[in-house]
Structure 1
Amino acid sequence: MRLVLLLAVLLLARGAVRIPLRRMKSLRHRLEEQGLLEASPNTLPSRVGSKFFSSLTGGVTTEPLENIMDAEYVGAISIGTPPQQFLVLFDTGSSDLWVPSVDCSSPACVGHERFDPRLSATHQATGQPVSIQYGTGSMSGVLAYDTVRVGNIQISNQAISLSKKEPGSFLTHHAFDGILGLAFPSIASSGAVPVFDNMMSQGLVAEDLFSIYLSSKSRTGSFVMLGGMDSSCFSGRLRWIPLSAETYWQIAVDRIIMRGRVVACPRGCQAVVDSGTMLLAGPPRDSRHHPAPHRGLRVSQWPGEGRGRGSMWLGPGQVLPSPVVLPLLLP
């Protein structure tokens, strides 16, 4: 059983571990300083959905997330013994865990924390090459195994990818050092077991469930909770939506409504809920231009109830951003 929960209000569970994060300059400010902000909306989001559309024919820990430019929420993890700390994007749209290595000299690596395997007593090198392609960037490197810590959870022999090349400029401008994928093993580029699956198999979480809260506050207040959910964060009865496929967090959508009008998927369509996507994306035939600010995906019917493997709770009467790649991130 594996479930994801999107929390609607902020109240931390009693006894959950909260890790303070550094306050840092936002992506918006960094791009402004480099004269790149004007170009970003035209150049960065254009391929944001490509990672989907090409293939679409124990315990509880709370990890705080930081809102960067209303576009990414990053949290701290550590890798190795003694631990080396990194800021990662918790991404429900991918399955791999990777961080830059000291062997990477790409500009995107140089500007971020880099993992040094020689400093870790628990590091196991494999020499196996890895290449990971995202909608707006890529990395190539090698697969290794080491101890990973997320909050108060320690995962032994976790597969990690260490980047040696991060071509292009997109990853250079982001606050996160690497990505921690929360999707299913079937789409792991490395072929390795993802972090949360290892937590489940090693009995490190109380429930086979993770939940995400994204705060509307500018910098702090967001968190990801691994191994449970906070019942004080919602009222009413939970409704669980079964997944269409155990790859991404893919669900069936009845229709997409904005301002009371059906604007896409009038006969239903498939959608992916992605915490690592900053925009709304869809196939050209379903894409529409709507002036900001408003948001309006409404799941008008619940495909099913009951809590089985691969279900997702959207919340009673909840409205999410739209359309077919459905970000957990609030625009």
Structure 2
Amino acid sequence: MLSKLLVLVFAAGVATAEIARIPLKKFEKPRDSLNRNGLKEALLAKYSGNVNDDSAVVLTNYLDAQYYGEIGIGTPAQSFNVIFDTGSSNLWVPSSKCGFLEVACLLHNKYDSDKSSTYVKNDTQFAIRYGSGDVAGVVSQDVVEVGGLQAKDQLFAEATQEPGLAFLVGKFDGILGMGYPEISVNGITPVFNTLVEQGAIKEPVFSFYLNRDPDGNVGGELLLGGSDPNYYKGDFTYVDVSAKGYWQIVMDSLNVGSSLKLCSNACQVIVDTGTSLIAGPSAEVEKLHQEIGAFSFLNGEYIIDCNKVDQLPEISFVFGEKEFKLAGNDYVLKQSNGLIDICISGFMGLDLDTRTHVEWILGDVFIGKFYTEFDFGNNRVGLAEAV
């Protein structure tokens, strides 16, 4: 792949007509709980709707999303930290037009159209469902810069309403969706697709490296236009997208050690960079937790004895007859209050609407272990073990 060769030539942070690198920062957040009840509600909203409904597309609970990067909007560029989310397809950032009662908006960077010479008024109403409320505002047009590349005349949303604690305490300002255009609100072309259409990127491929090392200096990297062999071992295993909208693929099975097999007749899964955990049917996740010796605690969390993490069974996700294995240290999240360590399962039970046919959501717990390539050109997802 040409873009892979180019990656070896150009230094990090440099954009060419074919590739761009966006450093990702890791949001280290002090919290006592993963608040899985709230996360479950948000994910149910996100993945239980009709992906062809232009009125609203739903967002996950970004309180648990840890990785974000910087983009610019306007001329001169106004900077924003955004979560690059493969589970949605629109770009929105806070607006300078938000009211004084919108605290979440006031505490973050805001787009001011009066300060951009390339702004074009659109004013179409915009809403993205978030749990019990909506992120709402108006559509505008301007230049969007990502990794040194410019998406000209890009439509995006200026958010004037941002309900929910997630947006209030989040380190990010907005969301840049990287899903298929089929789930884009108002039929807006996603930023990445605009970059491809305008020739800023040659190959319609992007890839994520998420650093799960809590002591690491770099949170990760998003590469537009290809993948970087310095971040993975061996070759990619490619899995075809089974339904355009989200990055939805078929998983052959999920095995816990050698004694428990889940998703035994194959199942639909979504690879979602905007979700931190791995979510699956409640009954199956309950069996998984029983198998690894986890016990239910508060807010839907499952606790594991920290002294036994190293002895936990491997959990294998099978795609294309190849196993992708997570060890206990990969799927257990360790938290400390300074006195004691608490080890929490990275799996959660979630029963999605059967109309979506989706059963599992693979978030950052999975993507952090496996370098992931999203290929629009061939409608496939590539997985390889991260270094």
Measured against the shorter chain, the TM-score band is 0.7 to 0.9
Output aligned runs, 1:117-156, within 5 Å: 117-134=113-130, 138-156=134-152
TM-score (norm 2): 0.67
Q: Residues 257, 319 of structure 1: CA spacing in aligned structure 2 closer, same or farther, 3 A cutoff?
A: same
Question: Distance between the aligned counterparts of 1:101 and 1:118, measured in 2?
Answer: 11
Counterpart residue identity of residue 183, structure 2: I
Indicate the SS of the match to 2:92: strand
**Once the 2 structures are TM-superposed, how far is the Cα of residue 110 of structure 1 from its aligned partner?**
1.3
**Once the 2 structures are TM-superposed, how far is the Cα of residue 17 of structure 1 from its aligned partner?**
3.9
Render the CA deviation track for 1:182-219: whole Å, top value 9, x for unaligned. Answer: 00001011320001110111111131110100012335
1:175 paired with 2:139, answer no
Partner of 2:228: 230
Partner of 1:209: 205
Indicate the SS of the match to 1:102: coil
| CA RMSD, 1 decimal | 3.0
Question: Distance between the aligned counterparts of 1:317 and 1:216, measured in 2?
Answer: 20
Partner of 1:242: 240
**Once the 2 structures are TM-superposed, how far is the Cα of residue 70 of structure 1 from its aligned partner?**
7.6
Check conservation: 2:123, 2:140, Cα contact below 8 A.
yes
Indicate the SS of the match to 2:280: coil
Q: State which of 275, 285, 288 in structure 2 corresponds to 1:287.
A: 285
1:80 paired with 2:74, answer yes
Question: Distance between the aligned counterparts of 2:25 and 2:251, measured in 1?
Answer: 37
Quick check: 136-145 or 247-256, which moved more? 136-145
Partner of 1:298: 316
Partner of 2:48: 53
Output aligned runs, 1:1-331, within 5 Å: 13-18=8-13, 26-28=28-30, 31=31, 37-38=32-33, 40-50=34-44, 51-55=46-50, 71-105=65-99, 106-134=102-130, 138-218=134-214, 220-262=218-260, 264-288=262-286, 290=289, 291=294, 292=304, 298-302=316-320, 317-319=323-325, 324-329=360-365, 330=368
**Once the 2 structures are TM-superposed, how far is the Cα of residue 253 of structure 1 from its aligned partner?**
1.0
Question: Distance between the aligned counterparts of 1:108 and 1:96, measured in 2?
Answer: 19
TM-score (norm 1): 0.78
Q: Residues 17, 160 of structure 1: CA spacing in aligned structure 2 closer, same or farther, 3 A cutoff?
A: farther
Render the CA deviation track for 1:167-196: whole Å, top value 9, x for unaligned. Answer: 122211211100010000010113200011
Render the CA deviation track for 1:239-293: whole Å, top value 9, x for unaligned. Answer: 2100111100001111222233435322121110000002222343443262345
Q: Residues 25, 265 of structure 1: CA spacing in aligned structure 2 closer, same or farther, 3 A cutoff?
A: closer
Question: Distance between the aligned counterparts of 1:136 and 1:15, measured in 2?
Answer: 45
Question: Distance between the aligned counterparts of 2:360 and 2:22, measured in 1?
Answer: 34
Counterpart residue identity of residue 302, structure 1: G
Question: Distance between the aligned counterparts of 1:199 and 1:136, measured in 2?
Answer: 33
Render the CA deviation track for 1:69-96: whole Å, top value 9, x for unaligned. Answer: 9842000001000000000001000000
Question: Distance between the aligned counterparts of 1:223 and 1:22, measured in 2?
Answer: 5
Check conservation: 1:100, 1:164, Cα contact below 8 A.
yes
Q: Which runs of 5+ in 2 are unaligned?
A: 14-20, 52-61, 295-303, 332-346, 348-358, 370-387
> Which of the pair has the greater relative contact order for Cα pairs under 8 Å at 6+ separation?
1
Q: Residues 91, 47 of structure 1: CA spacing in aligned structure 2 closer, same or farther, 3 A cutoff?
A: same
Question: Distance between the aligned counterparts of 2:123 and 2:114, measured in 1?
Answer: 14
Question: Distance between the aligned counterparts of 1:21 and 1:84, measured in 2?
Answer: 18
Partner of 1:312: none
Counterpart residue identity of residue 239, structure 1: T
Counterpart residue identity of residue 231, structure 1: P
Indicate the SS of the match to 2:104: helix
Larger Rg: 2
Q: Which runs of 5+ in 1 are unaligned?
A: 6-11, 32-36, 57-67, 304-315
Quick check: 132-141 or 81-90, which moved more? 132-141
